[in-house]
Amino acid sequence: NISSLSCSGSRSSKTFKPKKNIPEGSHQYELLKHAEATLGSGNLRMAVMLPDGEDLNEWVAVNTVDFFNQINMLYGTITDFCTEESCPVMSAGPKYEYHWADGTNIKKPIKCSAPKYIDYLMTWVQDQLDDETLFPSKIGVPFPKNFMSVAKTILKRLFRVYAHIYHQHFDPVIQLQEEAHLNTSFKHFIFFVQEFNLIDRRELAPLQELIEKLTSKDR
């Protein structure tokens, strides 16, 4: 029930959606730990590279789950500021407006408020991540042939949440002292999608200046 989610009261616990856990002891968990360790070194370009001998699909899968969790948490901190009233449309600045469609339940794109859009989006992503045929968590279960195109769609949509936060809610992010956290998360995300060419440049346009600023120091 989406309407109950739009009132901040039901979300005051400051988490937006349940975290997607990667099972401990699994190979994907090891990969996640590797990613966290290399991130700790502070070199993001190195941190996103495919580790030697690893499967690209699995690396993209683990990182996609991780970005979902990060964005979930970041958006969770500002849900009180993102309301039907403050954000009647899902936008990233005056030039970019997003309409929601998932191709199955909602085939024709609908115009909706940002909190509703983001709720649809995160629920949709969660459903994809929970689908064992798309994101197999067991060793030896192969990834489907269309895995990369699914991952690209997920990442393209997750980018829109970053874009909305930066354009419409950056002031509360600063007030909550979440700015460094947001920038680090977004920079990691951008380096990752650049490394494997996962999001079309046109889709990144709403944050192009920021992307250039964040990545120019690390060329």
Q: What is the DSSP string of 131-187?
A: -TTTS--STTPPPPTTHHHHHHHHHHHHHHHHHHHHHHSHHHHHHTT-HHHHHHHHH
Q: In the prediction, which pLDDT does 8 show?
A: 36
Cα gap 219→214, rounded to integer Å: 10
pTM (two decimals): 0.89
* Binding-site entries: 82, 87, 164, 169
Look up the CATH number of the domain holding residue 128. 1.20.140.30
* Binding-site entries for Zn(2+): 82, 87, 164, 169
Residue 16 lies in a domain: no
Q: In the prediction, which pLDDT does 11 show?
A: 38
Residue 93 lies in a domain: yes
Residue 8 lies in a domain: no
- Domain limits at 79? 27-216
Residue 15 lies in a domain: no
Residue 7 lies in a domain: no
Query: Can you list the positions of beta strands (E) in 25-176?
Result: 90-91, 97-98
Which two three-digit tokens encode residue 150? 């699914």
Q: In the prediction, which pLDDT does 210 show?
A: 95
Quote the number of domains for the chain.
Answer: 1
Residue 141 lies in a domain: yes
3-state secondary structure of 108: coil
Residue 12 lies in a domain: no
Residue 38 lies in a domain: yes
Taking only the tens of pLDDT, the chain with its 219 residues reads 333 333 333 333 456 778 888 888 888 888 888 888 887 767 888 889 999 999 999 999 999 999 999 999 999 999 999 999 999 999 999 999 999 998 888 899 999 999 999 999 999 999 999 999 999 988 788 999 999 999 999 999 999 999 999 999 999 999 999 999 999 999 999 999 999 999 999 999 999 999 999 888 654
Q: In the prediction, which pLDDT does 15 show?
A: 62
Q: Is 74 in contact with 9 (CB distance < 8 Å)?
A: no
Q: In the prediction, which pLDDT does 2 show?
A: 37
Q: In the prediction, which pLDDT does 150 show?
A: 96
Q: In the prediction, which pLDDT does 218 show?
A: 56
